[in-house]
Chain A
Amino acid sequence: KAGVTQTPRYLIKTRGQQVTLSCSPISGHRSVSWYQQTPGQGLQFLFEYFSETQRNKGNFPGRFSGRQFSNSRSEMNVSTLELGDSALYLCASSLEDRGEQYFGPGTRLTVT
């Protein structure tokens, strides 16, 4: 069974621009969660989608948004990029609530 895939793997953007990242979960997994990883803050939860609905949201500004499609693929969008948004963005999928989450390889975003 294929794992979680994320595209693109690397991105370089300029302050003020916006970016869209994509995640395809493991087949059959309907929950997709997004996380931001930085050296200073570690791994932090952004939001979770299940059956095209956002169920949970972390403590991030409204510039961070996401959506999920009927095939469970998910996208996250960051608008008006700031230097501090430079991070590894990870998505994870899970089969069950409170169950195991499997991470994709991540998208490394650099904002200059």
Chain B
Amino acid sequence: QKEVEQNSGPLSVPEGAIASLNCTYSDRGSQSFFWYRQYSGKSPELIMFIYSNGDKEDGRFTAQLNKASQYVSLLIRDSQPSDSATYLCAVIGGTGANNLFFGTGTRLTVIP
């Protein structure tokens, strides 16, 4: 059974701070890793993807992948109240071309 685990939170950070979201996965064959943001009542929105070990930066977002530790994280710099949402970690495993396995999500609140 492929598993993706996240701290369910809630995570609260003050405006302007760095929010750190973490995720671990069980399938060592996993190849693709994604972070989605989901506002209440809306569908998931893709904000970051990473395929190789290391860091990937896009604006205020940085995704970090460590395949040896089976760990992927998302850093949000200069957090804004509009970043308040549930963040979902998703993984495509070693088999099954496009099966996304999701964590349960971390609810982030950015306090003005």
Contacts and interface: CB of A to CB of B under 8 A. Distances in A.
Interface of A: 31, 33, 35, 42-45, 48, 50, 55-56, 58, 88, 90, 92, 94, 97-106
A55 B92 CA distance: 14
Interface residues of B, number: 23
B34 interface: yes
A50 B96 CA distance: 12
B44 interface: yes
Contact of A50 (B97, B100, B105): B97
B31 interface: yes
Nearest to A105: B43
A90 B102 contact: no
A98 B32 contact: yes
B7 to A, nearest CB: 14
A100 B34 contact: yes
12 contacts: A35-B100, A42-B103, A43-B44, A50-B98, A55-B97, A56-B99, A58-B99, A92-B100, A97-B98, A100-B46, A100-B49, A103-B45
Contacts of B31: 98
Contacts of B98: 31, 33, 48, 50, 55-56, 94, 97-98, 101
B102 A101 contact: no
B88 interface: yes
Nearest to A94: B98
Contacts of B105: 42
B104 interface: yes
A59 B29 CA distance: 20
